[in-house]
Structures are given as C-alpha cells and as structure tokens.
Amino acid sequence: MVDFKRLAQEEKEAVIAVRRELHRIPETAFCERKTAALVADHLRGMGISVETGVAGTGVVGLLQLGKEGKTLMIRADMDALPVAEKTGLSFASTHDGFMHACGHDAHMAMALGAASILSRIKGELKGNIKFVFQPAEEGPGGAKPMIDAGVLERPKVDLVLGCHLHDAPEGTLGVKAGTVLAANDRFDLRILGKGGHGAMPHLCVDPIDVGVQVINALQRLVSRQVNPLNPVVLTIGTFHAGTSFNIIPGESVLSGTTRTFDRGIWDSWQERMEKIIKGVCEAMGAGYEFQYHRGYPPTVNDSALAEIVGRCAGEVVGPDRVFEPEPIMAGDDMAFFLERVPGFFFFLGAGFEGSAPLHNSLFDFNEGILPSGVEMYVRLAHALLR
C-alpha cells in the first residue's frame, strides 16, 4: 500500500526549494520565459516528456502510465503580479516591480512535487497524467489559448484538477461542489460632452455630471433589476476627467468590472448596461463609446467528484480540517477547463494571524503547508486512475 503522507513529506525540502526558485523570478502574463524554462527542466529531470511554447509560454508535461485508462490533467498557473515585493524574504523577487503575490509559485511547486511522486509510483496507476503550467491567469487569460492550442487533446483529457491558496487557516483544505468563483468582466466607457468655461455650464455638456448620473443609474441595475438572492457586483474602478478647476472638460473616462455567479446574468451584462448608458447620455445631450470585455466564466466544480475530493482531503489533513469555502467574487480562468472537462478546483488554507492577503506586497505563507497540496494531488490521482 502506498504511504502518501510519507512520500509527500519526503518531497518537502525539494518542493520548498523549487518554490523559492520560482519566487525569485516572477514574470507577468505571457512573459513567463524563465519560469517556463525552470518548470520544463524539472519535468524533464523526472523523465516526463515536455512540450514548451504552448500558447506562447505554456508548458505541458505528459506522464504515460503504461496501461490504457483515463487522462488526468493537473493545472498550475505561472504568472506573477506587477507588485513591488516588501516581504524582506531571503529569496525575495529579483525582478523589480514584480512579485508572486497570489501564490502561483506555490501552485507550481506543488504540481511539480506531485509529478515527482507520481512518476515514481506510476506502476500503481493506468492512463496518463498531463501537468499543465499555464500563463496569464491574472489576465488576459492563458487557459483559453491553451485549450485552442489543443491542450485538452492528444490524448484527450477526461478529468482536471487545480488548487489555489486561500486565506483560511493554514493547512486546511477547502472542498465545495458547484460554483466557487464568479464570472469577471471589464468595461470601459468614454463620455463625450462639450467643454467650455466653468462659469458658463449652460453652454456646455458636462461629461463629469453625465458620468455621475451614469454611475448612479448603473447601480440601479444591481439593486432593482437583479434578484437580491442572486449576488452580483458592478464596480466603477476609475473615473478620470478634467485638467483645471475652472474648465468643464470635453470628455470623461470610466472603467470598471462586473461579477456574478449566474451564467444568465453574465450573458446579459453588456446589453443591460448599454441600455442604461445610452438612455442617460441621450437625455443629457452627451455621446458615448462603450467597450465591454468578456473575462472568465464562473468556476464550477463537478458535483460527482466532490465525494472523492472530500474523502482525500480528510485523509490529508483530517476531516475536522476540511472546510466548505463560501463562493467569492474573484475569478480564475481555471473556469475554462472546467467548462469543457469534469474537474475540481480545491483550496489550501494559507492564512495565519497577521498574514497579508493575496495580491499584497507583504504576502507570504508557511511553506510547511506545501506537502498537503502535494499529497492531495497524489491521493486524487491514485483514486481516479487506479
């Protein structure tokens, strides 16, 4: 019988070492060249066949288990954030202005740790395991380009797994069937008014005033057009206009994001918003240019896999340390894989007293939790591919 816990603990130092290697070289979307090279080298060292340059900088390792069976995909994201690191760690970022502030270094390290173990116990399993290291999760998204490049084929992927660090107490595991993350989109709006002297507003069309009315009207979409039991978010993140206190500018520029767990609402955002924007602008004599950019769909876990994932999580950390995470309005392009293939996105708690949140310049975590993620992947692969 395979001693998963012992194998994961034996891998601990190597996993921590590779996490630190990756942490030193953060790279943003589609620029993950050093990262991809390091990942590919580690996979090759395990005897795993490697394809690089997938959708630009993506890496795919294929472990063939020698017997006919299903193909399981383990996905890890590679990109970092444009955040200047302030942790003071001995292995802090060497790329000024960039940092692994969302745990993607941990995600890669855990996937590589699992690859190391699974390559050694492959005689226990049948089928194939694809280790997919994906660029650009933070945006504009690397999952869909990798799918378009054929990552779910050759051989055809039957199941997909992924993990993300979570602000829950460190060493816990989060398992939830159904929707766990929201669809997230971006929009940009330019309001075209008529500029002039601040003392003569009657001769102008004030794009700041119009912008304020648009913002207020858009919030009615949330409070009066959507069922209050169905949570949605519409946030204006930027509003820029004007150059002087006594000049009414000719235009204002706004941008923001929408979030929802509901696919029907996700599909209707653009039409609903433009109807409101058009009505307000026409009523106030302004023109507008509206661009709506579809982002990631909701992240939905396969309910049929929940029992297996929950059982494995309990074996890793103990049943009392398995939690059901509340859905949050963040998004992840793991959603594109889960749209096409049954799979599961689980969470590894990394929070501790005084810990900084994800996307923060002070973000760090206790590396002692990494073997739990490694063990989780290995147990799941063993359960799904025996």
What angle separates helix 370-385 from helix 306-317, to the nearest 10 degrees? 140
- Marked catalytic residue, from 27, 79, 105, 364: 79
Contact 322, 204 (CB under 8 A): no
Q: How far apart (Å, rounded) are the C-alpha atoms in residues 196 and 242?
A: 11
- Separation between Cα atoms, residue 218 and residue 267, nearest integer Å: 17
CA distances from 362 to 26, 78, 90, 307 (A): 15, 19, 13, 36
Is the torsion defined by CA of 79, 81, 84, 85 positive or negative?
negative
Task: State both tokens at 215.
Answer: 């913002």
Residue of 137, 185, 209, 333 marked active site: 137
Identity (one letter) of the amino acid at 47? Answer: G
Is 271 labeled as catalytic in the residue annotation? no
10 is catalytic: no
Here the tokens at position 62 are 């294929």
In whole angstroms, give the CA distance from residue 361 to residue 368.
21
Cβ within 8 Å of residue 340, ≥6 positions away: 147, 152
Question: What are the distances in angstroms from CA 51 to CA 41, 133, 149?
Answer: 11, 11, 12
Active site amino acids: 79, 137
